[in-house]
Amino acid sequence: MNQVGSVGLIAALAFAAYALVAGAVGGRLRSPRITRSAERATWGFFLMITMAVVALEYMILTNDFHNAYVAEHSNRDLLTYYKVASLWAGQEGSLLFWTWLLSIYSALVVWQNRRKNRQLMPYVVSVLMGTGTFFSLLVFFVANPFQELWANGTQAFTAPDGNGLNPLLQYHSMVIHPPMLYLGYVGMVVPFAFATAALITRQLGDNWIRITRRWTMVPWMLLGTGILLGGNWAYAVLGWGGYWGWDPVENASLLPWLAGTAFLHSVMIQEKRGMLKVWNVALVILTFFLSIFGTFLTRSGIVSSVHAFAQSNIGPFFAVFLAIILFFSVTLLFLRLDHLKSENKLDSMVSRESGFLFNNWILLALVFAVFWGTLFPVISKAIENTTVTVGAPFFNKVAIPMGLLLLLLTGAGPLLAWRKTSFQSIRRNFTVPLIVAAVAGVVMFVEGVRNLYAWMTLFLSVFVTICILGEFWKGARTRMRTAKENFAVALYNLTMRNTRRYGGYVVHIGIVLLFIGFAGQAFKTDSKGLMQEGDLLRINNYELRLSELVSGDNPNYEYTRANFSVTKNGEAFTSMHPEKRFYKASQQPTSYVAIHPTLSEDLYVVLAGLDPGTNKAIVQVFVNPLVMWVWIGGVVTLLGTLLAMVPSRVEREMAEMRQAQELIVQAGDAF
């Protein structure tokens, strides 16, 4: 099976390199047959990488421990779906998986455009496969997962059992978190490829921006989902009661997401008004760069992280690749500046356009701050030779104010009209939300919300919610009046006629819910205790009684379980069963956290272990307010994004038009 994998890898490398060259040549000569051949090579790349992935998965699932990767990252007693996940548990497998996702995206793009965008496609293929060439080089020569296990460096041998999957990764959202995240990272290559192709072919009209917007939304959504699933994993598994710790790897995934968010907003200015063209191209480049940079940060271990993958022999390769991307795309951008002139001018400082500019400003400043903070330890080490840590306190201080500004724009931006908004309009649109928010703010202050940031978050959340609901309300009212529809029908039609706008509003509601969840962090409380059976632990209005401590065993791990019965305000509430586990294959202890989630707060119980002296249970309890709203906000954001991707009536018309146009083109009438 190792040979099968290696054949797959080397063939994939050959196809990718061929497609890289053939695409460029085919585009240059405008030759249909060379282009066709390059496109077929993309299929070949996909098929060959798939073969390699199947080979590795086959070895994992059949416990073939003569393969070094399988022996390192799997074991016999691992549950099957965790075995599948072993594919992306280690360096080599992850990179192979990354490459495979790239091949899937590439194949999809080639298929989707088999009759469209014939001028762009050869270059698109070339860029996609350029990336493919880099990653298959990496997987084949530097981090090859198809290596025999060697005993004493001389003799091949088969291990009796594997070392097992890291127990921290044995959690259900961990099975889908990395694929989501990777789909997000990898997917950003598609908009980059189209942007590059448009620059090369000088087709800088509207066509590429349309394709690029759609192809950015997909990975943007997946990346966001991946980030939240990661947060969910950290919350449920790591046992410190939080979901976001500003870890370098977390930051790395946030960066392209933020840049992508900026692009998804500023792209609207270009579509509607033909402005900001250079900026949009730059944002696409930046987003892709940050995706690769994120992969690099995640995989190279240049910064220390809870995701301690730290085998850093791939670092220099990534550095070179990043430099190539940067040099190539920036040069290209400069060569095409003349073709990127703005079609319109700004009518007024107070307009939707300027709202988007401010949104971009904050998002990019945030990208810069997070980037800087993440890399600062490396820089400090290189220049000053001192080791410093840049952790959560720094990022919180920097990011929270910017986040609040963004939250404000989330509500205020959509109320500004395109081109210009007069003061009367502003007063008309902002009065109600401001009054409601002010009332809510006073109530919250009286109710005892004294943390400034939390108060501001909640105040702004109310403001934004009213703003957005007002948009729906006013829109539906207008339709009721003009189209004589009842409220529900009006609301539905309103949304479906312009899915992008109203889907976007739903996303904004989701973001508000996320922020409400974040604000809960300010009110979290915790308590600790050494407990034996029958003991009580109090936190807020909860009482936890340790009813019994049981120990047990299964093939994968040994465990100690603490059974708690919980009362709230003196009444029976629930029972909770945190565990302390010891995984046999990897010889590692972990905690299995018990969480009782409700809309207002989560009760979060960790059995940290048994005190060696007294054999009492070390118990840590957190009350985490509003955490549930983070997950709800995530789901709403996801649904809003999906809604925004439904083609609206206008978009369908345009698609029909394009199809008609394609028919003309096919008839050979290339006017």
Residues 405-464 that bind other proteins (CB under 8 A): 415, 417-426, 428-429, 438, 441, 445, 450-452, 455-456, 459
Report the site for other proteins in 45-64 (rule: CB under 8 A): 47-48, 51
Q: Which stretch binds other proteins (CB under 8 A): 136-144, 314-322, 552-560, 656-664?
A: 656-664
Q: Report if residue 484 touches other proteins, rule: CB under 8 A.
A: no
Interface pick for other proteins out of 155, 386, 569, 615 (rule CB under 8 A): 386
From the list 408, 520, 426, the residue with the least C-alpha distance to 465 is 408
Cα separation, 473 vs 586, whole angstroms: 57
Report the site for other proteins in 577-636 (rule: CB under 8 A): 589, 591, 608-609, 618
Amino acid at the residue 213: R
Report the site for other proteins in 9-38 (rule: CB under 8 A): 11, 14-15, 18, 30-37
Residue 66 vs 568, nearer CB to other proteins:
66
How far is C-alpha 433 from the chain's CA centre? Answer: 31
Interface pick for other proteins out of 477, 561, 596, 616 (rule CB under 8 A): 477
Tell me the closest approach of the beta carbon of residue 357 to other proteins, in angstroms: 5
Report the site for other proteins in 294-333 (rule: CB under 8 A): 304-306
Cα separation, 315 vs 596, whole angstroms: 42
Tell me the closest approach of the beta carbon of residue 666 to other proteins, in angstroms: 7
Cα separation, 341 vs 597, whole angstroms: 53
Tell me the closest approach of the beta carbon of residue 649 to other proteins, in angstroms: 8
Per residue, the 3-state secondary structure of 42-88, as one string, reads HHHHHHHHHHHHHHHHHHHHCCCCCEHHHHHHCCCCCCHHHHHHHHH
How far is C-alpha 500 from the chain's CA centre? Answer: 20
Q: Report if residue 657 touches other proteins, rule: CB under 8 A.
A: yes
Tell me the closest approach of the beta carbon of residue 567 to other proteins, in angstroms: 25
Tell me the closest approach of the beta carbon of residue 239 to other proteins, in angstroms: 5
From the list 457, 499, 495, 501, the residue with the least C-alpha distance to 648 is 499
Interface pick for other proteins out of 93, 130, 178, 373 (rule CB under 8 A): 373
Helix or strand or coil: residue 607?
A: strand
| Count of chain residues binding other proteins (CB under 8 A) | 127
DSSP string, 439-482: HHHHHHHHTT---HHHHHHHHHHHHHHHHHHHHHHHHHHHHHHH
Report the site for other proteins in 350-369 (rule: CB under 8 A): 350, 354, 357-358, 360-361, 364-365, 368-369
From the list 366, 354, 197, 191, the residue with the least C-alpha distance to 280 is 191
Cβ neighbourhood burial of 157 (10 Å; 0-12, 13-18, 19+): middle
Helix or strand or coil: residue 562?
A: strand
Q: Which stretch binds other proteins (CB under 8 A): 79-87, 94-102, 103-111, 378-386?
A: 378-386
Tell me the closest approach of the beta carbon of residue 463 to other proteins, in angstroms: 11
Instruction: Evaluate whether 5 touches 64 at the Cβ level (below 8 Å).
Output: no
Interface pick for other proteins out of 81, 111, 372, 492 (rule CB under 8 A): 372
Tell me the closest approach of the beta carbon of residue 106 to other proteins, in angstroms: 14
Residue 153 vs 668, nearer CB to other proteins:
668
Q: Which residues contact 89 (CB under 8 A, 6 or more apart)?
A: 73, 165, 166, 169
Instruction: Evaluate whether 591 touches 572 at the Cβ level (below 8 Å).
Output: no
Q: Which residue is listed with tokens 């949104």?
A: 359
Interface pick for other proteins out of 309, 394, 523, 582 (rule CB under 8 A): 394
From the list 287, 171, 183, 295, the residue with the least C-alpha distance to 230 is 171
Residue 180 vs 476, nearer CB to other proteins:
476
Report the site for other proteins in 114-133 (rule: CB under 8 A): 116-120, 122
Residue 33 vs 571, nearer CB to other proteins:
33
Neighbours of 102 (CB within 10 A): 27
Instruction: Evaluate whether 55 touches 146 at the Cβ level (below 8 Å).
Output: yes
Q: Report if residue 389 touches other proteins, rule: CB under 8 A.
A: yes
Cα separation, 42 vs 125, whole angstroms: 7
From the list 113, 116, 74, 119, the residue with the least C-alpha distance to 93 is 74
Residue 299 vs 479, nearer CB to other proteins:
479
Report the site for other proteins in 71-110 (rule: CB under 8 A): none
Residue 423 vs 484, nearer CB to other proteins:
423
Report the site for other proteins in 126-185 (rule: CB under 8 A): none
Tell me the closest approach of the beta carbon of residue 376 to other proteins, in angstroms: 5
Tell me the closest approach of the beta carbon of residue 320 to other proteins, in angstroms: 26
Q: Report if residue 536 touches other proteins, rule: CB under 8 A.
A: no
Tell me the closest approach of the beta carbon of residue 112 to other proteins, in angstroms: 14
- State how beta strands 588-592 and 594-597 pair: unpaired
From the list 408, 309, 305, the residue with the least C-alpha distance to 358 is 408
Tell me the closest approach of the beta carbon of residue 143 to other proteins, in angstroms: 20
Q: Report if residue 40 touches other proteins, rule: CB under 8 A.
A: yes
Tell me the closest approach of the beta carbon of residue 571 to other proteins, in angstroms: 29
